Structure 1
């Protein structure tokens, strides 16, 4: 907690002042923790408790990286579940099972080759100005009638994994850019869009920092109206913007994605 105070002194000072006035320091403490990416001082103990519970109650789950004894993964889910042991175990076990059933560890460039060949989704070679890996989707190249849904899902997960592998030290989130220029009704895929956001919510919590919907045409609005209520809190991560905004606010001249250089 001391580290958190050093990182955000003005914010925490304000909360401490309110705490004195309201005599409710517990609520203020929670706000302070949520405003900081660091774990509480007893994080190690909480991780150990989750590991012990998983070993006792879910010992059939795999171990190793992304397994039930992966302390980094456990800590990340603890943060997402506000350090609740029960909530963390519940969400984490589902995520570990999903990774095994989906075959995440078996995904490779070769296994997603056919879907990737469309050029509709890829990880940018450079970080954005905030130091985040960038996952780009060119919606006009997505034709759900021509591709098996599971192939698109595999490509999605592979790209998420690839983007996360590029996270610099100290960074925790990626940027998603959905280029909607040229989007037509035949590109609409409500089910897949929900799959993408569900993947982040259930299996990669708090890894998605922001999603840019670039130059959305009028025909995209009905799609958004349908999907927005289903995204719940994740809808707040979406920002509608222009290609000009992407150029000027998220990249330098040297790091700007090729698709936005026209």
Structure 2
């Protein structure tokens, strides 16, 4: 993974405040972008409306994603984009660079895997046993989380740009796999404040970008925290699957692409 500037304002796909009447298949990637007159008009409307926003207008790829996720409604996308920008501002998550998270990244608690999974998804791997409550300010942990997600989305967008034919682009994977290694954790690794942030950021500010969350080798001490966290996820709990190392290796990766942590 390249350690450089994150050019994306946002890699989220929907508003940071989802309503209760969300569409049926919320977990699938949204309808593909088509350069129709209506869609291009909606894109131009968003660019005009956000041109003078205090935090600037997100890039075109982000605007298109929000339009896709809001059924190509400029009005709905504008509301969602402004909520996302406010969320970024509140948590100081604009233009997070590697040097901003380098110290925490060197602990090895999180990384973007070099290989895709069998479905073609970038994989963000979390080593929960390397996260200790209070070792870093919670604000720093939030920035590392956003950096990982933004890096994975940037990888998706780079892959999309490399495809030449529209048919190839439509078949391109647009979602991320989140792998959380729970082997060897203790209560000092289960950071409630950080988990609450992730529970907001992943399902609400990166919805439909995270296609699945795998909890690997969860020990018995994780049962009680999970029972507390699960209701907060609401329907997004369906994205979560508990798996063993063997299941991860067989179902999600090949022998060559399996992260080294799980080759045991």
TM-score, normalisation: structure 2: 0.76
Q: Which residue of 1 aligns with 2:244?
A: 242
Aligned partner (choices 237, 258, 261) of residue 259 of structure 1: 261
Considering only CA atoms, is the larger Rg found in Structure 1 or Structure 2? 1
Alpha-carbon separation, structure 1, partners of 2:248 and 2:226: 20
Deviation at 1:89? 1.4
**Are the equivalent residues in 2 in contact too, given 1:95–1:203 (CA < 8 A)?**
yes
Whether 2:48 is the aligned partner of 1:55: answer yes
Secondary structure of the equivalent of 1:150? Answer: helix
Preserved contact between residue 200 and residue 206 of structure 1 (Cα < 8 Å): no
**Contact (CA 8 Å) 1:47, 1:75: kept in 2 or not?**
no
Separation in 2 of the partners of 1:174 and 1:225?
24
Equivalent in 99, 111, 116 of residue 110 of structure 1? 99
TM-score, normalised by the number of residues in structure 1: 0.77
Moved more, 236-245 or 34-43: 34-43
1:224 to 2:226 alignment? yes
Could you tell me which residue of structure 2 aligns to residue 195 of structure 1?
197
Cα 1:36/1:166, change in 2 over 3 Å? closer
Q: For the Cα contact (< 8 Å) 1:144–1:189, is it kept in 2?
A: yes
Unaligned runs of 5+ in 2: 1-22, 161-171
Give the Cα separation in 1 of the matches to 2:80 and 2:220.
37
The worse-fitting range, judged by mean Cα deviation, of 183-192 and 73-82 is 73-82
Q: CA–CA distance in 2 between the matches of 1:47 and 1:95?
A: 22
Q: Judge conservation of contact 1:33–1:39 (CA < 8 Å) in 2.
A: no
After TM superposition, give the deviation of residue 184 of structure 1 in Å.
0.9
- Distance change >3 Å, CA 82–CA 190, structure 1 → 2: farther
Distance in 2, Cα, partners of 1:78 & 1:189: 35
Could you tell me how far 1:228 is from its partner in structure 2?
Answer: 1.1
Deviates more, 1:123-132 or 1:100-109: 100-109
As a proportion of its length, which structure holds more helix? 1
Give 3-state SS (helix, strand or coil) of 2:134's partner.
helix
C-alpha spacing 1:34/1:210, structure 2 compared with 1 (3 Å)? closer
- The structure, 1 or 2, with the larger RCO (C-alpha pairs under 8 Å, 6+ apart) is 2
TM-aligned CA deviation for residue 177 of structure 1: 0.2
- C-alpha contact (below 8 Å) 2:101/2:144 kept by paired residues: yes
Give the match for residue 93 of structure 1. 82
Q: 1:38 aligns with which of 27, 31, 38?
A: 31
Match of 1:151 among 134, 140, 151: 140
Partners of 2:253 and 2:98 in 1: how far apart? 27
Q: Distance in 2 between matches of 1:47 and 1:228?
A: 40
Structure 2 equivalent of residue 25 of structure 1: none
Question: 99-108 vs 85-94, which deviates more?
Answer: 99-108
Structure 2 equivalent of residue 10 of structure 1: none
- Where has structure 1 moved over 6 Å in runs of 4 or more? 30-36
Which sections of structure 1, spanning at least 5 residues, go unmatched? 1-29
